Chains A and B, each alone.
Chain A
């Protein structure tokens, strides 16, 4: 069973004083996320990531299309007891303590009173907030609020967790902790769907990613798949104290650092380049095809549709 099946979900808003202008939030989106997957939803600010999450959470209503979450319609209230959600830059009730807040969410999630308190304690420990459990949230830093947000999202042991920009605004330590938490959730067999614009996080964590821009899906696939699309170029690394001029004449982008040289050149010139190295008696260290980084893939896919060429969706 798929964890999430998005079936042509679409959202547009009527804007302006007379509400006559239409603003597209999300163009028809079709996407399937399997159970147990860590799925990254990438895109710049305003791309439609949060709109998609809000649609799936029932916070906004679709203009067209539907979605199934854990095999049930996304409108089914029962689905919510198996889903956790962390909104972007969460903000909670100022006058509650972290423990009171989690207890309140535990009540709303239907966690039985008997085990609720110990579950809250577990979550506070898991996100490292045991010492601040009795402090009112208005005294919390942004990073601490993010941790409370994560704790409330996983408090009721959901099968599926939606995280909207979970690393946004966190310091390097905070980001690392969130990364570790997502990895733990993955090992526990949970499905994690998170939106981000931090590509290194997506690259490190995700089984698959989707790229979205201007409300339109631009690509989806495993990170390795997306980044391995052949660029038709190779990188040759060899020992040399100066760059052979013949190699430069082949059109190689060359670089020399100490006694290690590298040259990137079209695959068609590979044999000629190796012949030059043999002739010059230079030691070959490595020859690897150039892979596109996720960043390059991302940047390429953010261009308007008509400007893009060879984008695999």
Chain B
């Protein structure tokens, strides 16, 4: 059954990633950064909470994205290079099942990773403020949006790695992450530009992933609420964008000769 095989591949990807020491190092590094947040919080009078949330969530986002890109780009190419893919695809496994399984394995890893890092941030908050406040619940929404970003970045990494080299895939994915965080500015620029340039800027602005709308770190750090409409929009947007990128990866991978 397809869902079964996708699940087995996802679990194996998750297990491999968790046992990979690089992942542990990144978690340790993130924990260190949360420690730094506490230190900065102590020397920043009255804005400890702001600094801890800002630094903690930014670290989670950045480390998660790095993991998503660097593991994501290697998910398929490493299996081709090491020929582990041959023994998988010589079984009754469809190529799309492999790609989708890999995607869910990596996103699963990132969700677990984020949970651990989020616990670190909440502990840091508790350490600096000695108690939780009602508005801290919005941090969970920011974390949810970060996870949605990971889904999109994982899908993009898989998409790029389905046809290009690991280095180029990393460059493309990271560039799109940066541009996606500036999506609002790009859309503003498109509105101000006329003619072919304006049309081109509009197309690009709507083609790149809109990570800007998924970044509410600063908002929640100030204790401002996040609208339910934005939560729904970001959820649907991330699902749609990831599905498109994964479909593209599958379409390319289906036709690829494995050397």
Contacts and interface: CB of A to CB of B under 8 A. Distances in A.
B8 interface: yes
Interface stretch (B12-20, B114-122, B134-142, B195-203): B12-20
A93 B12 contact: yes
A93 B83 contact: no
Interface in A259-293: none
Contacts of B92: 77-78, 80-81, 108-110
B94 interface: yes
Interface stretch (A84-92, A212-220, A247-255): A84-92
A58 interface: yes
Interface string B245-259: 000000000010111
A107 B9 CA distance: 9
A86 B86 CA distance: 9
Contacts of A60: 257-259
Interface in A56-113: 57-61, 77-78, 80-81, 83-96, 100, 104-105, 107-110
Interface residues of A, number: 37
A54 interface: yes
A59 B16 contact: no
B90 A80 contact: yes
B130 interface: no
A83 B87 CA distance: 11
Nearest to B87: A152
A93 B19 CA distance: 11
Given A104-B12, A107-B4, A108-B5, A92 B87 contact: yes
Contacts of B5: 107-108
Contacts, number: 81
Contacts of B20: 95
B12 A57 contact: no
A108 B84 CA distance: 13
Query: Does more than half of chain A's interface fall in helix, strand or loop, or is it mixed?
Result: mixed
Nearest to A162: B90
Nearest to A100: B15
Contact of B86 (A13, A59, A94): A59
A95 B109 CA distance: 15
Contacts of A85: 86-87, 90
Contacts of A61: 255, 257
B258 A59 contact: yes
- Pick from B5, B12, B16, B20 the residue with the most CB of A within 10 Å: B12
A54 B258 contact: yes
Interface in A9-33: 13
A225 B15 CA distance: 52
Contacts of A109: 91-92
Contact of A108 (B16, B86, B93): B93
B131 interface: no
- Pick from A84, A89, A95, A152 the residue with the most CB of B within 10 Å: A95
Contacts of B93: 80, 108
Interface string B1-39: 000110011001001100110000000000000000000
B15 A105 contact: no
Contacts of A78: 92
Nearest to A60: B257
B19 A95 contact: yes
A91 B81 CA distance: 10
A78 B5 CA distance: 14
Contacts of B89: 57-59
A93 B84 contact: yes
Given A54-B258, A78-B92, A108-B91, A91 B8 contact: no
Contact of B83 (A13, A81, A84, A91): A91
Interface string B193-213: 000000000000000000000
Interface in A138-166: 149, 152-153, 156, 162
Interface string B70-108: 000000000000111111111111100000000000000
A81 B91 CA distance: 6
B16 A95 contact: yes
A83 B83 contact: no
Contacts of B9: 108
Given A59-B90, A85-B90, A90-B87, 14 more contacts: A13-B257, A61-B257, A77-B92, A78-B92, A80-B91, A87-B83, A87-B86, A91-B84, A93-B16, A95-B20, A104-B12, A108-B9, A110-B92, A162-B90
26 contacts: A13-B257, A54-B258, A57-B89, A57-B90, A58-B90, A59-B86, A59-B89, A59-B90, A61-B257, A80-B92, A81-B91, A81-B92, A85-B86, A85-B87, A87-B87, A88-B83, A89-B83, A90-B87, A93-B12, A96-B16, A100-B15, A104-B8, A105-B91, A108-B8, A152-B87, A162-B90
Interface of A: 13, 54, 57-61, 77-78, 80-81, 83-96, 100, 104-105, 107-110, 149, 152-153, 156, 162
Q: Which 4 A-B pairs have the closest CB atoms?
A: A95-B19, A85-B90, A60-B257, A107-B8
